[in-house]
Amino acid sequence: MIPASLNAFLALSALLFAIGFLGVLLRRNTLVIYMCLELMLVAAMLALVAFSRFNGTVDGDVFVFFILTVAAAEVAVGLAIIVALFRQRPTLQVDRHDALKN
């Protein structure tokens, strides 16, 4: 299978990243913000795989391995933090967690 073209994949990756960024900025639900963060990671992975394929090297794919691992660790710790926050104050809205606000 011959991929479409490198720029098409990069534009798609940029669009996916921008959508994730928009979600992080717009949404108030902590869990949904976290999902949008994962979306941005997937966009970065897509760009890395595309570069790796079009350059004929395997380094980008290896980085995607690392991103997958770090993302799994990040989700585990992040969700534990969200649960701990929920025990402090039983809401998922980010703007209710304003203990550091002046």
Partner 1 sequence: MAPFLFNLFACFTIAAAVGVVLNKNAINCAMCLLLCLAGAAGLFIRLDAFLLAFLLLLVYAGAVIALFLFIIMLLDARGRPGPTQRGLHTVAGTAAAAILLAAVVGFVSQSGPDRAVPGPPLAVGASLKLYAQPLFTVYLLPVQVIGFLLLISMLGAIALSRRPPPGS
Residues 16-45 that bind partner 1 (CB under 8 A): 16-23, 25-29, 31-32, 34-36, 38-39, 42, 45
How distant, in Å, are the alpha carbons of 6, 24, 87 from that of 82? Answer: 38, 16, 9
CB of 36: closest distance to partner 1 in angstroms? Answer: 6
- φ, ψ of residue 24 to 5 degrees: the values are -60, -40
3-class DSSP state of 101: coil
Tracing tokens 């994949």 back to the chain, one arrives at 9
Which of residues 88 and 102 has its CB atom nearest to partner 1 in the complex?
88
Interface pattern 58-87 for partner 1 (x via CB under 8 A): xx-xx-xxx-xxxxxxxxxx-xxxxxx-xx
Residue number, 84 or 99, with CB nearest to partner 1 = 84
